[in-house]
């Protein structure tokens, strides 16, 4: 069986698909993973064959329509979600054009697409092969399809479709307590970390004598966009009697280490570090959120965008996290919230309850047979 996985334009969207794609490959099937420009090194470093399917990187498409005219990113939730769907659809339009060329020579039996990776259902429809959607995190992403439909109207018309194709199987990776009822064939799969690894040092996987706080801006954090914010946040967190660790890409970590020599930083695999932490402070990234949930660690979530606040508030309601807007996250509130997450055992109990829910779900390997069955039918 040949299986084409289609990922998004940031490392987290690749990491979310890697465990399932690896399970399919380990079962003896041929697997390729396609993604926008710039993601091939991430895919290949994860042990999978990579296809680059756009002429530009993911961020090139933000702030413009398909004709190249400038657009304004909305600030309210629903318009922002529709805009996000349109943005991903523009990327997908270029990816679909390239996949038509690729699949003329290498025809998959099944196509698996990540959330909002609209090139996956389009190419599956063109080839008349089964399409499977696999969510890369527990985010809801409601209303994004509304924004994608109009943007992809030329491709839908070419295929004779009135709407985006419906997946034959939809795989969600959310804990059952956070699951949203959906129509169709929907299964819950155990979420598994898929991030890049490194040569480990003992402090990365051993709990320190002091409390440990992890601060991260995610796998796409950069010196240009994240440095000053991380320096400020880490400085405030150092007011607590705790060790502060900042996993970050190497260029960013080098500058963080120069500015904050008492903070541990570098490319530290979050799935290795997370179980040693008392709190994880982050920007509401999907992979970071799921890694913390998987490890049963309380979170202080400060979403960069209103689109991520709903999930942060749900985790707060479930007693596994605290959610604060960037405006609310003053230095004093940062210290107060982290202290509460550390000192009040109910937060760790809430996080561990969700961790147990994740552990009880079937792992990616158990879904390989479903793909085989779809391919046979």
Domains 2-191+361-376 and 202-359 share a fold: yes
- CATH code of 2-191+361-376, in short, is 3.40.50.2000
Is it the case that residue 190 has pLDDT exceeding 70?
Answer: yes
Per-residue buried b or exposed e for 51-90, using 16+ beta carbons within 10 Å of the residue's own CB: bbbbeeebebbeeeeeeeeeeeeeeebeebbbbbbbbbbb
pLDDT digits (tens, 9 = 90+) for 277-318: 999 999 999 999 999 999 999 999 999 888 889 999 999 999
pLDDT, average across residues 117-131: 98
Contact 152, 164 (CB under 8 A): yes
- Please state, for a pLDDT cut of 70, what percent of the chain lies above it: 99
pLDDT digits (tens, 9 = 90+) for 20-74: 999 999 999 999 999 999 999 999 999 999 999 999 999 999 999 999 999 999 9
pLDDT digits (tens, 9 = 90+) for 349-374: 999 999 999 999 999 999 999 999 99
Largest CA distance in the chain: 63
Euclidean distance between CA atoms 25 and 32, whole angstroms:
9
Q: What's phi and psi for 5, nearest 5 deg?
A: -100, 140
Alpha-helix runs per DSSP H in 27-106: 40-45, 77-103
pLDDT digits (tens, 9 = 90+) for 240-285: 999 999 999 888 889 999 999 999 999 999 999 999 999 999 999 9
Lay out the sheet containing 131-134: strands in order across: 50-57, 30-37, 2-6, 110-114, 131-134, 169-172, 186-188
Q: What's phi and psi for 214, nearest 5 deg?
A: -100, 130
Count CA within 13 A, CB hemisphere, residue 355: 20
Distances (CA, A) of 162 to 87, 159, 168: 20, 9, 17
- Determine the 3-state secondary structure of 51 from DSSP: strand
Is it the case that residue 16 has pLDDT exceeding 80?
Answer: yes
Between the CA atoms of 223, 48, 289 and 80, what dihedral angle is there, to the nearest 10 degrees? Answer: 70
- Please state, for a pLDDT cut of 90, what percent of the chain lies above it: 89
Classified by CATH at the fold level, domain 202-359 comes out as Rossmann fold (3.40.50)
Euclidean distance between CA atoms 81 and 86, whole angstroms:
9
Domain boundaries, the chain: 2-191+361-376, 202-359
Per-residue model confidence (pLDDT) at position 368: 98
């Amino acid at each position: 069986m040949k299986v084409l996985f289609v990922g998004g334009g940031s490392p987290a969207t690749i990491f979310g698909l890697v465990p399932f794609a690896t399970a399919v490959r380990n079962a003896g099937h041929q697997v390729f993973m396609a993604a926008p420009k710039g993601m091939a090194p991430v895919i290949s470093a994860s042990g999978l064959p990579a296809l680059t399917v756009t002429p530009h990187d993911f961020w090139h498409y933000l702030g413009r329509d398909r004709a190249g005219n400038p657009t304004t990113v909305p600030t309210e939730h629903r318009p922002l979600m529709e805009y996000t769907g349109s943005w991903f659809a523009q990327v997908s339009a270029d990816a679909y054009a390239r996949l038509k060329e690729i699949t003329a020579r290498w025809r998959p039996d099944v196509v698996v697409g990540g959330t909002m990776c609209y090139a996956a259902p389009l190419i599956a429809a063109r080839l008349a092969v089964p399409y499977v959607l696999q969510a890369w995190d527990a985010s809801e992403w409601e209303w994004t399809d509304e924004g994608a439909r109009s943007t992809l109207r030329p491709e839908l018309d070419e295929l004779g479709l009135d709407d985006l194709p419906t997946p034959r199987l939809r795989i969600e990776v959310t804990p059952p307590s956070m699951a949203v009822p959906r129509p169709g064939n929907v299964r819950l799969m155990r979420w598994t970390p898929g991030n890049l690894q490194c040569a480990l040092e003992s402090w990365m996987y051993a709990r320190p004598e002091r409390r440990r706080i992890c601060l991260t801006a995610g796998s796409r954090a950069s010196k240009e966009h994240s440095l000053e914010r991380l320096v400020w946040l880490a400085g405030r967190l150092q007011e607590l009697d705790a060790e502060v660790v900042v996993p970050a890409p190497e260029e960013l970590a080098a500058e963080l280490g120069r500015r904050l020599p008492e903070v541990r930083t570098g490319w530290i695999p979050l799935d290795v570090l997370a179980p040693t932490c008392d709190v994880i402070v982050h920007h509401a990234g999907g992979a970071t959120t799921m890694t913390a949930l998987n490890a049963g660690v309380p979170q202080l979530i400060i979403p960069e965008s209103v689109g991520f606040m709903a999930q942060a508030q749900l985790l707060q309601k479930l007693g596994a996290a605290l959610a604060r807007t960037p405006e609310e996250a003053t230095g004093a509130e940062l210290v107060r919230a982290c202290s509460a997450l550390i000192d009040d055992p109910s937060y760790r109990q809430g996080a561990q309850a969700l961790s147990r829910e994740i552990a009880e779900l079937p792992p990616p390997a158990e879904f390989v047979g479903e793909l085989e069955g779809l391919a046979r039918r």
